[in-house]
Amino acid sequence: MFDTHALVQRLEGAGYGRQRATALMEAISSAVCESDAARAGVVATKPELLELKGELGEKVFNATLKFDIAQRHLREIVDKDLQNLKSELRAAERADSAEMRAEIGSLEKARAVRACLFSGARDGERARQQERNGI
């Protein structure tokens, strides 16, 4: 607030009459009171600010905790998926390895059969040459 009597005296000193100076002082006083009332509705008190700070701190803590829990859960899901992929890859490698061993075994058998046939054919050819030569 302000000193209303001092304002009336200043206005009278500036040439205003007592009645007019008092009316101006009342109008100014009313405007100041309305302004203070409007500001009081907008401005928070210190206890209100401390309460709000506590509530916000709690909300931030809870949000951080929820985020950490969600992050751990996602990490567990990713780790589990990675382990599953590794297992599937190992199984595919074992299957491919077994298939390759079987194919190599089949090729080795075919080569042995050809070698045997080729060796038998050469032996037969030698025997015919020996008969021609009379040995």
Segment 15-43 mean pLDDT: 87
Segment 69-81 mean pLDDT: 96
Segment 81-91 mean pLDDT: 96
Q: How many CB atoms lie within 10 A of CB 28?
A: 14
pTM over 0.75? The answer is no
Segment 11-20 mean pLDDT: 91
Residue 4 has which token pair? 């209303």
Place of tokens 């009171």: 33
pLDDT of 121 reads: 60
Segment 25-36 mean pLDDT: 88
Q: How many CB atoms lie within 10 A of CB 21?
A: 19
- CB contact at 8 A, 6 and 21: no
108 pLDDT more than 70: yes
CA pair distance 38, 43, nearest whole angstrom: 9
